[in-house]
Structure 1
Amino acid sequence: MTGRLPALLAALGRRLPSDRLIDLLHHLNEAEGPDSPLLDRWSANHPAAGLAVQLSTLRTAWRDEVPQLSGAALALSLATAAEAEKGMDSPAELVVSGPTSPAIPVRLTSGIAVDVIRSARASLLIASFAAYGIPEVVTELRAAAERNVRIDLFLEESTAAARAFGPLGEHVRIWHRTDGDDARTSLHAKVIAADRHTALLGSANLTGRGLSRNVEIGVILRDSRAVGRLVDHLRWLTGPDGLLRRA
């Protein structure tokens, strides 16, 4: 396989969470070619920002470069590309809240926040200046706690952000700035770090508006070295020389 198609398959495999990837592979296996209405239907059912354009570009390359390739063969190629991506550190990926351009393949903050939480198997480190109106996030954190994920929340005390996580009780550990901190400072970071492999960084607070309606920009990091350093720094803040105390 030559031309643009391999790179397009790799990008799509890197972007799609496992449930969407499995659904697309099913549709591709049933598709007779790039013009199959099954693929139109899949695209309509997954209205993520820029995803329709990304799939359309892939279908155009399929049509132009290897029109004889069956949908089943393309599905196998996509599955192979996605599996290969699992073992590689990926570049930063753009995340937005608010209006999106259909020409740019970006992820929405609300969806990627849930994906990052779901990807954690051992630990979650979450920092936010404000937090409220996030029942889906609280539900995902409860599910993470049930699979024995250690959850640490770094929250700004002056905004009463901890109230949003009250239903989780002792399933989470909440950290605030120490009483001796300069009153003019605040805990302003916005981070969701899963284990040491994935982190969402950006301007959005953990609020309903921040994750969906406000104009916010962020990135997903899947570079284990960078995420590891970030996690180490956040953990240091909770140590003897750090600035955070248990609530």
Structure 2
Amino acid sequence: MKVVADTPPARLEQLIAAVGAAVSAQDTIALDRWPLSAHAKNITAELVARWRATSVTPAELAGILVGAARAYHDAKAEQELELVWTGPAGPSIATRRTDQALLEVIDAATGRLFVTSFVAYKVPSIVRAFEEAVRRGVRLSMLLEPAESVGGNISIDVIGKMKAALPGARILTWINKEPKFVGGSVHAKIAVADETICFVSSANLTGHAMERNMEAGILIKGGNIPIDLQRHLEALEAANVIALT
């Protein structure tokens, strides 16, 4: 529910109290004093409009908002974020390297694994993890940038190399570009598994990125981001924006 996601907890408690104090959905004077901003006014107006289309009482709507708030904040609390860093070590925080985070996502996959990268080569430990994922029945999809010889923006044939190294993988490329994207590249560096865990990083799938470059990323477990990210990538394939090579 948008009103829950867009409202700070203390203000939401005030809104719930105002809803509970309303006479009915048609008489919501108690809500007039709640909004403090234009955005809050829009949220309130949308809430009241939807409420008036139902037979829900003020007490029932207040209870619904309480339940929605609890569910939303519980779900947010379940999400775990971890900084991932490859490069010179810092004095204040200890982080895992890029290859360690990527391997965790690959190893966690049981059904679907979607990976994107501009380039991919000389990463034997990662390729072995991909091979193991395919052996245990994971549907591995990889979106990569094609070579210049076939209209891409990279000098080497990464797609050909990955097809040879991972015959069980589904290799995709960005084939249907809107005019504003013509000349653009697959520059996202993402790994997402089963809508439950994802790694978003600056690192390509290369040996230098895993071991020598200065790279940063975020490992995300739980919450909506892995769900939204995996569904978005799969929707791009369903819409034929990206396709198997």
TM-score (norm 1): 0.60
The letter of the residue matching 2:244 is R
Secondary structure of the residue aligned to 1:152 is strand
Match of 1:243 among 233, 241, 244: 241
Q: CA deviation at 1:180?
A: 5.2
Residue ranges of structure 2 left out of the alignment (5+ in a row):
1-76, 147-151
* Alpha-carbon distance between aligned partners in 1 of 2:233 and 2:78, rounded to the nearest angstrom: 21
- Check whether the contact 1:123–1:195 (CA below 8 A) recurs between aligned residues: yes
The letter of the residue matching 1:246 is L
* Alpha-carbon distance between aligned partners in 1 of 2:133 and 2:106, rounded to the nearest angstrom: 7
**Paired residue for 2:227?**
228
* Alpha-carbon distance between aligned partners in 2 of 1:179 and 1:244, rounded to the nearest angstrom: 7
- Check whether the contact 1:178–1:245 (CA below 8 A) recurs between aligned residues: yes
For 1:17-166, list aligned pairs within 5 A: 89-157=78-146, 158=152, 159=154, 160-166=157-163
**Paired residue for 1:196?**
195
Secondary structure of the residue aligned to 2:163 is helix
Secondary structure of the residue aligned to 2:224 is helix
Q: CA deviation at 1:243?
A: 1.7
Larger Rg: 2
Q: What's the C-alpha RMSD, in Å, of the aligned pairs?
A: 1.8
**Paired residue for 1:19?**
none
Identity percentage over the alignment? Answer: 30
Q: CA deviation at 1:98?
A: 1.4
Secondary structure of the residue aligned to 1:214 is coil
Secondary structure of the residue aligned to 1:238 is helix
- Check whether the contact 1:190–1:202 (CA below 8 A) recurs between aligned residues: yes
Residue ranges of structure 1 left out of the alignment (5+ in a row):
1-87
Secondary structure of the residue aligned to 2:172 is strand
Secondary structure of the residue aligned to 2:238 is coil
Distance change >3 Å, CA 125–CA 220, structure 1 → 2: same
Distance change >3 Å, CA 144–CA 179, structure 1 → 2: same
Distance change >3 Å, CA 133–CA 223, structure 1 → 2: same
